[in-house]
């Protein structure tokens, strides 16, 4: 067994859960910093639970005492109520300050491919601001950059399958001739653990081996689940209104204008970059087609009910 502990923000969530499980399999002692301590998770009782108190840096530092590596998955998908990109930046900086106070040896942080402070999309510009703050913090760090994730518990590709199962036609934003390069969440977790073992500053992409044109990705999912739908190509604004209607019916946010804009701006892939993760989405899809999209992945539902399992 290892003497020092490993910390994961949100180990009862999607990405954090995969990281924590892999750490436990390696015999590590794992701490999770979370604001959802009662969430239904198979990791309950297997990891030590400590508060993620962003507004109290000394208390947050106390939560990180005795931690060797902090694996940070914290972020928000869109602005909603108090969960905003601006607050997420401020809270991430508080986390890095606390890590430094606590003597954490390394921070492995999830960012996003194509993050840029010049981006017209706040998700990407805010991510870039956090990246720069981590680099300037003096903490030994790794920044890991996925483009889009898939795996059990994920929302994006699951809800594409859900729409194909439930709707008579599939509404596509524009031509669909933009790309998505999905990475398996278990591969991402493996990559992060590999980065956690290093003691030099690194900045790495997390990309799967398949780079799909979006229209082809939708067709691939439809064929695998037996729901080939007629595709309706819509102007982005009209498509957004359709997504908003689905969100209203599901009491959720199905897709934001920023997400649609980022997708159509080709930000969910890195052209010409070598893949860094091995699992092919098509192979995973063949094994999971029967379950993919059977139920809707509700982002706001998870935020409202902090006991709900991912």
Cα–Cα distance, 162 to 297 (Å, whole number): 9
261 assigned to some structural domain: yes
Asked whether residue 105 falls in the same domain as residue 172, the answer is no
The whole-model pTM stands at 0.96
Asked whether residue 194 falls in the same domain as residue 61, the answer is yes
Domains identified in the chain, total number = 2
Q: How many CB atoms lie within 10 A of CB 244?
A: 15
249 assigned to some structural domain: yes
In three-state secondary structure terms, 203 is strand
- Between the alpha carbon of residue 268 and those of residues 77, 110, 131, 252, 281, the distances in Å are 14, 15, 18, 22, 15
Asked whether residue 172 falls in the same domain as residue 86, the answer is no
Q: Quick one: pLDDT at residue 308?
A: 86
Asked whether residue 192 falls in the same domain as residue 232, the answer is no
In three-state secondary structure terms, 237 is helix
Instruction: Spell out the per-residue pLDDT of the chain, length 310, in tens.
Output: 456 899 999 999 999 999 999 999 999 999 999 999 999 999 999 999 999 999 999 999 999 999 999 999 999 999 999 999 999 999 999 999 999 999 999 999 999 999 999 999 999 999 999 999 999 999 999 999 999 999 999 999 999 999 999 999 999 999 999 999 999 999 999 999 999 999 999 999 999 999 999 999 999 999 999 999 999 999 999 999 999 999 999 999 999 999 999 999 999 999 999 999 999 999 999 999 999 999 999 999 999 998 988 8
Asked whether residue 74 falls in the same domain as residue 188, the answer is yes
Asked whether residue 100 falls in the same domain as residue 169, the answer is no
161 conformational bin, left if phi > 0, alpha if psi -120 to 50, beta if neither: alpha
51 assigned to some structural domain: yes
Closest CA to 203 of 270, 119, 265, 256: 270
310 assigned to some structural domain: no
Burial of 249 from C-beta contacts in 10 A (0-12 / 13-18 / 19+): exposed
Cα–Cα distance, 256 to 116 (Å, whole number): 19
| Token pair for 306 | 């902090």
Q: Quick one: pLDDT at residue 2?
A: 52
192 assigned to some structural domain: yes
CB 204 within 8 A of CB 187: no
Q: Quick one: pLDDT at residue 1?
A: 40
Q: Which residues contact 61 (CB under 8 A, 6 or more apart)?
A: 97, 98, 99, 101, 102
Residue 46: HSE in the Cβ half-sphere, 13 Å Cα cutoff: 17
Q: What range does the domain containing 238 cover? A: 156-179+210-304
In three-state secondary structure terms, 89 is helix
Asked whether residue 192 falls in the same domain as residue 297, the answer is no
Asked whether residue 101 falls in the same domain as residue 12, the answer is yes
| Token pair for 286 | 């063949």
Phi, psi of 235 (to 5 degrees): -60, 145
Asked whether residue 189 falls in the same domain as residue 225, the answer is no
User: Do the bridges between strand 169-173 and strand 29-34 make them parallel or antiparallel, or are there none, so unpaired?
Assistant: unpaired
Domain of residue 122, CATH code: 3.40.50.720
Q: Which residues contact 305 (CB under 8 A, 6 or more apart)?
A: none
309 assigned to some structural domain: no
CB 183 within 8 A of CB 242: no
Asked whether residue 122 falls in the same domain as residue 46, the answer is yes
28 assigned to some structural domain: yes
Asked whether residue 216 falls in the same domain as residue 202, the answer is no
Asked whether residue 192 falls in the same domain as residue 144, the answer is yes
What does R_g of the chain's alpha carbons equal in angstroms?
19
Could you write out the DSSP letters of every residue in 271-306? TTPPP-----HHHHHHHHTTTTTSS---HHHHHH-T
């Amino acid at each position: 067994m290892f003497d020092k502990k490993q910390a994961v923000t949100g180990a009862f969530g999607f990405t954090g859960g995969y990281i924590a499980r892999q750490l436990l399999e390696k015999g590590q002692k794992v701490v999770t910093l979370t604001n959802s301590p009662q969430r239904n998770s198979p990791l309950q009782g297997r990891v030590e639970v400590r508060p993620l108190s962003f507004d109290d840096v000394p208390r947050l530092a106390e939560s990180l005492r005795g931690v060797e590596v902090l694996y940070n998955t914290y972020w928000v998908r869109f602005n909603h109520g108090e969960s905003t990109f601006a607050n997420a930046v401020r809270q991430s900086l508080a986390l890095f300050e606390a890590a430094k106070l606590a003597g954490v040896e390394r921070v492995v942080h999830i960012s996003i491919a194509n993050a840029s402070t010049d981006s017209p999309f706040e998700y990407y510009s805010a991510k870039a601001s956090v990246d720069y703050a981590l680099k300037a913090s003096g903490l030994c760090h790794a920044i890991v950059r996925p483009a889009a994730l898939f795996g059990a518990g994920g929302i994006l590709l699951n809800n594409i399958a859900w729409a194909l199962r439930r709707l008579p036609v599939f509404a596509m934003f524009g031509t669909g001739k933009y790309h998505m390069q999905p990475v398996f969440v278990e591969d991402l977790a493996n990559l992060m653990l590999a980065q956690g073992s290093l003691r030099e500053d690194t900045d790495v992409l997390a990309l799967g081996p398949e780079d799909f044109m979006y229209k082809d990705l939708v067709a691939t999912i439809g064929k695998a689940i037996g729901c080939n739908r007629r595709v309706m190509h819509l102007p982005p604004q009209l498509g957004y209104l359709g997504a908003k209607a689905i969100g209203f019916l599901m009491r959720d946010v199905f897709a934001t204008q920023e997400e649609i804009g980022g997708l159509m701006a080709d930000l969910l892939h890195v052209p010409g970059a070598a893949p860094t993760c091995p699992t092919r989405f098509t192979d995973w899809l063949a094994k999971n087609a029967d379950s993919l999209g059977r139920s809707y992945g509700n982002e706001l539902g998870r935020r409202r009910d902090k006991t709900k399992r991912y």
